């Protein structure tokens, strides 16, 4: 469970829900809460000391009511690269959970390079919670994406610690690799045989998931066929689902950063809140 939560906000429509969720988790787990607001580095380079003070004062005033509603946690205001500042601040504070909102940027650079939220997800060494919905008590409808990776196991442990006493749905998504299926079709393999391969794979996945679930009380294993990111985004729209938990294998090669991993796509497109847990999280 978290001991120190860092909530990253800017003045705007998402700030209230981010801080309310962060405060709820802090109270639930008796954790410290710190708030950070990062003004973009280009502003700082163009400002003298007085202008920076004015910008910081304006930010405090814009967030004053939202902070008061969240119990007036300490606020840090920084200038610089937002993702780098947020992750560095989390490390400095010893924060073990970062809470922020979805980034709504639609610019070409945001799509190619990634939004602030995307970059925090790639750079953070602690779990990152993306808040989309106004909080309504504890997370009760929790889906945990599972495979055999250490990152997925870290996600399950974190979900159980963050949502004690609430049932977890353990979701595994499987399918025949597309290139393998194409090779079968090109070799003349009957479609009925390919369907048999797919059903066998689903049964094997279900057996493995059931075995892992046996170690975790209050869980419900579910297996789906398809692309993981598509299935999980669809499930995030289901009634009663308020949190998706995924493990992240960390930074990938440059093409992975451009195209986006499963965790990045779910974080961008899910309707529920999303918790991304890096491998190695205790």
Give the residue extent of every domain in the chain. 1-134, 138-282
Q: How far apart are CA 229 and CA 270, in angstroms?
A: 9
pLDDT value of residue 250: 53
The correct CATH number of 1-134 out of 3.40.50.620, 3.60.10.10, 3.40.50.10880, 3.40.50.261 is 3.40.50.620
Q: Do domains 1-134 and 138-282 have the same CATH topology?
A: yes
**Structure tokens of 55?**
């910008």
How many Å separate Cα 200 from the centre of its chain? 32
State yes or no: pLDDT of 259 exceeds 50: no
- Whether the pLDDT of residue 12 is over 90: the answer is no
Contact 223, 186 (CB under 8 A): no
Looking at residue 105, its pLDDT comes to 54
- Stretch 158-187: mean pLDDT, rounded? 87
**Can you read off the two tokens belonging to residue 246?**
């995924």
Q: How high is the pLDDT of residue 135? A: 92
Q: CA-to-CA distance for 280 and 127, rounded, in angstroms?
A: 10
pLDDT at residue 254, rounded to an integer: 39
Statement: residue 3 has pLDDT above 80: yes
The strand pairing partners of 5, in sequence order, are: 33, 97
Which of 127, 172, 180 minimizes the C-alpha distance to 148? 172
Query: Residue 189: pLDDT band by 50, 70, 90 thresholds?
Result: confident
Instruction: Name which of 280, 216, 18, 238 is nearest 143 in CA terms.
Output: 238
* pLDDT of 256 above 90: no
Mean pLDDT of 136-143: 94
Q: Which CATH superfamily is domain 138-282 in?
A: HUPs (3.40.50.620)
Residue 25 C-beta-side C-alpha neighbours within 13 Å: 28
Whether the pLDDT of residue 112 is over 50: the answer is no
Q: Is the pLDDT of residue 104 over 70?
A: no
What average pLDDT does the segment 84-90 reach? 96
- Residue 40 DSSP SS3: strand
What local confidence, expressed as pLDDT, does residue 43 receive?
A: 53
Q: Residue 266 — φ and ψ, nearest 5°?
A: -65, -40
- List own/partner pairs for 66-72 with CB under 8 A and 24 or more apart: 66/9, 66/15, 66/16, 66/19, 67/19, 67/35, 69/16, 69/19, 69/20, 70/19, 70/20, 70/22, 70/23, 70/33, 70/35, 71/23, 71/33
Mean pLDDT confidence for 221-226: 92
pTM: 0.88
End-to-end CA distance of the chain: 10
pLDDT score for 86: 97
Higher pLDDT, residue 249 or 95: 95
Report the relative pairing of strands 128-130 and 273-278 from DSSP bridges: antiparallel
Q: Which two tokens stand for residue 91?
A: 């490390």
């Amino acid at each position: 469970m978290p001991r120190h939560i860092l909530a990253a906000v800017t003045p705007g429509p998402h700030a209230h829900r981010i801080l309310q969720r962060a405060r709820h988790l802090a109270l639930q787990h008796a954790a410290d809460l710190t708030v950070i607001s990062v003004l973009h580095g280009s502003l700082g380079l163009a400002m003298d000391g007085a202008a920076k003070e004015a910008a910081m004062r304006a930010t405090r005033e814009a967030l004053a009511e939202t902070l008061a509603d969240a119990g007036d946690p300490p606020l840090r205001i920084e200038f610089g690269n937002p993702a780098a500042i947020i992750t560095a601040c989390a490390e400095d504070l010893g924060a073990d959970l970062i809470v922020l909102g979805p980034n709504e940027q639609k610019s070409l650079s945001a799509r190619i390079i990634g939004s602030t939220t995307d970059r925090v997800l790639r750079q953070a060494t602690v779990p990152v919670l993306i808040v989309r919905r106004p909080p309504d008590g504890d997370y009760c409808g929790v889906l945990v994406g599972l495979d055999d990776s250490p990152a997925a196991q870290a996600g399950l442990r974190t979900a159980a610690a963050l949502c004690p006493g609430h049932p977890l749905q353990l979701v595994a998504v499987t399918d025949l690799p597309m290139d393998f299926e194409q090779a079968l079709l090109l070799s003349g393999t009957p479609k009925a045989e390919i369907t048999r391969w797919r059903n066998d794979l689903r049964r094997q996945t279900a057996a493995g998931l059931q075995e892992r679930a046996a170690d975790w009380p209050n869980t419900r294993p579910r297996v789906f066929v398809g692309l993981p990111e598509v299935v999980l985004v669809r499930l995030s729209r289901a009634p009663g689902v308020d949190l998706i938990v995924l493990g992240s294998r960390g930074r990938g090669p440059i093409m992975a950063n451009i195209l986006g991993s499963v965790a990045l796509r779910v974080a961008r497109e899910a309707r529920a809140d999303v918790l991304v847990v890096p491998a190695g999280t205790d």
